Amino acid sequence: MHAMNNVRFEKKGAVAVVTIDRPKALNALNFETLKELQCFFYEIDMDREIGAVILTGGGDKAFVAGADIAHMQELDARAGAEFAELGHQVMSALENLNQPVIAAVNGFALGGGCELAISCDIRIASENARFGQPEVNLGVIPGFGGTQRLPRIIGRGLAAELLFTGDMIDATEAHRIGLVNKVVLAEQLLPTCMTMAEKITSKGPVAIRLCKETMKNGLEMDIGRACRYEAVQFGQCFATSDQKEGMKAFLEKRRAEFTGE
């Protein structure tokens, strides 16, 4: 992995921890930070040793407080669309990673930060986490997928309220409306995420990858087509050594030794 200015990366066993580290700017997403994330996501996707990813923010105030407004202020319509397109490429790369991604939301997740969190598979928040899409306060709309992913996660009515009012909600409310999976004490955030990530990496790697892929693609289909698609993907598992080992180990009452093949 290359040295980066704004993003830190470390491997802890089969878990990759990616930290957006611009605490003085509350980890805001500028052009350079987006490019660095894009680079890391590409490399993680190719790395078969990585079985799960944790994404978090540096410092104790923010996950990501938003996109960099100082950078955006001078953009014209064309440059604005290009900036949004880059943001979409990064969020899509995150969403489409082979590995499950857990967002460890350790503070403000506003605007682009909320959009980053909702591009992850699972969101775990510390008690001091705050969520919102405040773009309407600035005379713009979310540009990194907020108008699309948010209603798919929490429903159209709740998403409309957050998008139209620009209101910020706390971790408890985010949990109540299904935006986050659970809320934990700040000091328990990374250990909780690591425990979950390590549990995921102990499972069959092919099955985890196909589970993620099948769920994501199936949600874009009608239920009948999606279930037929699932049956095909289920069948694919039986061409793997992981399936043979997993079922053999179960019948022999021992722990499976998966190889990801």
Q: In 3D, which of 250, 160, 201 has the Cα closest to residue 13?
A: 201
d(CA 78, CA 228): 42
CA distance 259 to 91: 29
Looking at the DSSP assignment, which residues form a beta bridge with residue 16? 11, 53
Residue owning tokens 């991604």: 101
Provide the annotated active-site residues: 115, 135
Backbone angles phi, psi at 224, to 5 degrees: -65, -45
- What separation in angstroms does the CA of 184 have from each of 31, 163, 179, 180, 188? 32, 26, 14, 11, 6
